[in-house]
Structure 1
Amino acid sequence: MKISEFVKQVNTTKDAVRHYEELDLLRPSWKNDVRYYSPKDVGDFHAIKEMQSVGFSLKDVQAIFNLKRTDGCGSEKLIQGFLDSLDKELEAVVKAEEELQQKKSKITNMILELKQL
C-alpha cells in the first residue's frame, strides 16, 4: 500500500511515518520512487506505538528494533533486552507513583488544615 493508505490504516500522519523511516524504524519497499508498505510495516508501526504508550523513548525502540533485526524476533538477546527495558520503565513508574502519593498526602493535609481554620 502507498503512504496515503498506510497513514489512514494506522491513523497517523505522513510526517510521523517519514520520521520513523528516518529513524530506521519503518522500512518500506520502493518501486519507481514510490514507497510501498506491507502488513509487516503496519505491525511494526503498532509495536512502536505500543512501546511508546508504556513510556519507551524512540531511542529505546530503535535499540529493540536493531536487536530484532540482527538477532531475530524470538532471540534470547532480544527478549532479555526488552525485559530489561520494561524493568527500567516499571521502576520509573513505581517511583513516579510514590512521588504522586506523597504529593497527594501533602495536598490532603493542607486541605484538612485549611478547613479547620
Structure 2
Amino acid sequence: MQIAEFIEKVQTSKDTIRYYEEFNLIDPIKKGNKRVYTEKDIYDFYIIREMEALGLTIKEIQTIFHIKRSMGFHSPTLLQGTKDRLYASIMKIEKAERDLSTRKMKLFTLISKLEEIAKVDNQ
C-alpha cells in the first residue's frame, strides 16, 4: 500500500510517518522513488505508539528496534533492556502517585482549616 492508504489505516499524518522513517522505525519497501508499506509496517507503527505511551523516548524505541532487527525479539539484551525501562516507568508512576496523594492531603487539610475559619467567623 502507498502512504495515503497507510496513513488512513493507522490514523496519523504523513509527517509522523516520515519522522518514524527518519529514525528507521518504519521501513517501507522502496520501489523506485515510491515507498510500499506492508502489514509489518502497520504492526511496527502500533508498537511504536504503545512504547511512546509507556514513556519511552524515540531514541529508546530506536535502540529497541535496532536490537530487534539485528538479534531478534528473543535477544537477552532486548528483553532485559525493555524490562528495565518498563520498571523505571513504573517507578516514575509510583512516585507521581505518591506526590499526587501528598498534594491531595494538603488540599484537604487546607479545606479543613478554611472551614474552621468560616465557622469561627459565623459565630
| TM-score between both structures, scaled by the size of structure 2 | 0.90
Counterpart position of 2:4: 4
| Residue 32 of structure 1, CA deviation | 2.0
Counterpart CA distance in 2 for 1:27 and 1:3 is 12
Deviations 1:59-80 (A, max 9, x none): 2111111111121122222111
Give, in whole Å, the separation in 2 of the partners of 1:2 and 1:54.
29
Large movers: runs of 4+ above 6 Å: none
Q: Deviations along 1:2-42, whole A, 9 cap, x unmatched? A: 01000110110000000000111111111121111111110
> How far apart in 1 are the matches of 2:53 and 2:106?
29
How far apart, CA to CA, are the structure 2 residues paired with 1:31 and 1:113? 71
What are the within-5 Å matches in structure 2 for residues 1-117 of structure 1?
A: 1-117=1-117
Q: Secondary structure at the match of 1:12?
A: coil
Report Cα offsets for 1:69-114 as digits up to 9, x if no partner. 1211222221111101101111111111111111111111111111
Aligned pairs, how many? Answer: 117
| Runs (5+) with no aligned partner, structure 1 | none
In 2: Cα distance, 1:95 partner to 1:66 partner: 31
Shift of 1:44: 0.4
TM-score (ref. length: structure 1)? 0.95
| CA–CA distance in structure 2, aligned partners of residues 51 and 95 of structure 1 | 20
Distance in 2 separating the partners of 1:62 and 1:10: 20
Corresponding letter in the other structure for 2:36 = Y
Gaps of 5+ in 2: 118-123
Q: Please give the alpha-carbon distance, in whole angstroms, between the structure 2 residues aligned to 1:112 and 1:57.
A: 42
